[in-house]
Structure 1
Amino acid sequence: MIKVLLFAHLQEKVGQESISIERIETTVKDIRDYILSAYDIGNLENVMIAVNEEYALDDDMVKAGDVVALIPPVSGG
């Protein structure tokens, strides 16, 4: 199982703080594509993705037990 943490508006759109993906191994891109198809959240083009607290690229591998975080851009004032 891969745990996916959601932050900011992604958390609000999905309605929970995290989701679980039942896969042994996949890529960051596959996780991005899965979330886009499973949830009505718009796009993830500007969302940074971290795996085990390190920023990841689309072709990076994610394994069971890893924690993935979807971090949308934030603005402040």
Structure 2
Amino acid sequence: MKIGEKLLKQLNRKYEPSTMVNATFGRYDVAFKTDEEGNPILLFIGQAGDEGMIKGDHFSRRLVKDGNGVVIKDHWDYKGKV
């Protein structure tokens, strides 16, 4: 699975720092964990079960900044099925 432009637009927003956010995106359930600045860094997308655990795909974000805090690299890596 590939992350589309619409989902990337949603993931580029700032959220509450160091939390797990549950949402829906189209027909998929989405959960993502944010870092201390509020940037999503872990993404789970698929179908949520009765207990809230998502069966689907797992992505991890590589966010590299320089000494001034300017983003040098921002890339989502596919980590497999969950």
TM-score, structure 1 as length reference: 0.32
Higher relative contact order (CA closer than 8 Å, sequence separation 6+) = 1
* Greater percentage in helix: 1
Bigger proportion of residues as strand? 2
